[in-house]
Amino acid sequence: MSQGADKEATTPGGDASAGEQGGFPGARFMRTLTGRLLLSAILWSGAALLIGGMLLSYAFRSYVLSDIDEKLELLIDTMVGVSEISPEGVLRFNQPLMDQRFAAPYSGWYWQISEDGQSPFRSRSLWDFELHPELATKAFSLKLYEAEGPDGQTLRVAERDIILPEADRIFRYQVATDTAEVREAIQQFNWLLISALALIMLTVSLALVIQVAYGLRPLRNLRREMVAVRGGMASRLDGEWPEDLRPLAQEINALIDQNEKLVSRARTHVGNLAHALKTPLSVIKNEVEEDESAKSQAIAVQVRSIRDHIDHHLKRARVAGGGSGPGLLVGERVEKIARAIELLNRDKGLQIRVQVPADLKFDGEKEDFDEVVGNIIDNAGKWAEHNVQISVRRLPQETRRPYFMLRVEDDGPGVDEAAMETLFERGLRLDEHVPGTGLGLAIVRDIVELYGGVASLEKSSLGGLAVLLKLPAK
């Protein structure tokens, strides 16, 4: 069997695409322009909101603690202002503090005045609990810290060393308050902040989705217009386009116009060539039909073959490889072609096994499909010893147009890998003893590539050669 290929070209349409289709859900969406814009915008917005939320939380906590510290410092100044030394040398207040919380046991507000070697003078709210200042370390400037308090409380403590005018002694003034209310206020603020930021993030994400969807709508319209042009439902990109896309639409229209001119010129040349050949072929046909010799009859057969090829390619020049509307049932056509090839090779007992999904359709013309599949099955039948195997499977969809892979294998002698690279060249034949023109595989490749597919070769599991065709599905 003589057929050629680009083995690597088949892989992206087959097994490699399965890897791209895998991965986490939404991976394909993240590779789109919409997905990238949304992901980047949401990530930046989320990062900005997170940093802003952390700064707001830190600012609120600092404000609350600063407010508490200012109150504690003010209370120390108030205590110093009402402090005096009695004639007995005992520290006392010349008037009571107005805050009644210092009188209620474990109220959460406490004060204590300590002197080295003396029992501390403390508020009634401390009850049987004492603060434990480090008197060995002097603190003539305000010192703030947290310490354990009565009843399992965590206290915010402010302390300062004071020397009263009436006595040359150092007194440690301490004022403390329970931080439970402060922590609860900070926690409530954080929960409120988190809820507000989550709502803002949701609103921003929704706004981004709407913005990206609205902003990219012209691109989607452009894609629909191009699909309509490719499908033959429109000849140009019509409509009003944004300033950013207008030059692109104009260039695409110019490209369409240029392509139409090239196709029209090619069709004209093909038509002229076909008509120019038909006249001399008709003359040759008439001459050889009058002669009943074997040689003349052989020439007549070849003349008819040439005319058939001219008619077929003249028709192909008119349609240029478009879709075929409802599509062509692959299994039905392959079975008919396979049975015909079996009859042509019945002298060597050729058997062709076919495995094709029942509902699979080819998105193209019947003549093109028969030309492609007929060529490769015919080649397989010529080179096979006894068996040919045909299998078809759908490929994972990578683009808007689905494809399937048709594989034809034989148990013939096969082809060296070095020779595979040259088998698609026009007119090349590896064995002149096998009938043929050497144009079959070149035509196969041309038609397959016209439909956006790939034709390739590899070693068959039956021992011969395998031809792989990637063709569009309906």
This prediction has a pTM of: 0.47
From first to last of the 474 residues of the chain, give the pLDDT tens digit.
444 334 333 333 344 444 444 455 567 777 777 788 888 888 888 899 999 999 999 999 999 999 999 999 999 998 888 888 888 888 888 888 878 888 889 898 999 999 888 888 888 989 889 888 888 888 888 999 989 988 888 999 999 998 888 778 889 999 999 988 888 999 999 999 999 999 999 998 888 888 888 888 888 888 888 877 765 556 778 778 888 788 888 888 888 888 878 877 877 777 777 777 777 877 787 777 777 777 877 887 787 778 777 766 665 565 455 554 567 899 999 999 999 998 888 888 889 999 999 889 998 888 888 888 998 999 888 888 889 999 999 998 877 778 999 999 998 887 777 677 667 664 444 444 444 434 457 778 888 888 888 888 888 888 888 999 999 887
Q: Which amino acid is at 35?
A: G
Q: Where are the domains of the chain?
A: 7-21+323-472, 32-81+181-231, 83-178, 256-301
**The CATH number of domain 83-178 is 3.30.450:** yes
Q: Which of 454, 440, 309 is nearest to 378 (CA)?
A: 440
* Per-residue pLDDT, 158: 93
**Contacts for 85-94 with beta carbons within 8 Å, 24 or more apart?**
85/164, 85/166, 85/167, 89/167, 91/115, 91/121, 91/164, 91/171, 92/121
Encoding tokens for residue 387? 């068996």
CATH architecture of the domain covering 7-21+323-472: 2-Layer Sandwich (3.30)
What one-character DSSP code corresponds to residue 86?
Answer: -
Task: Say if 7-21+323-472 and 83-178 have the same CATH topology.
Answer: no
Separation CA 103–CA 186 (nearest Å) = 27
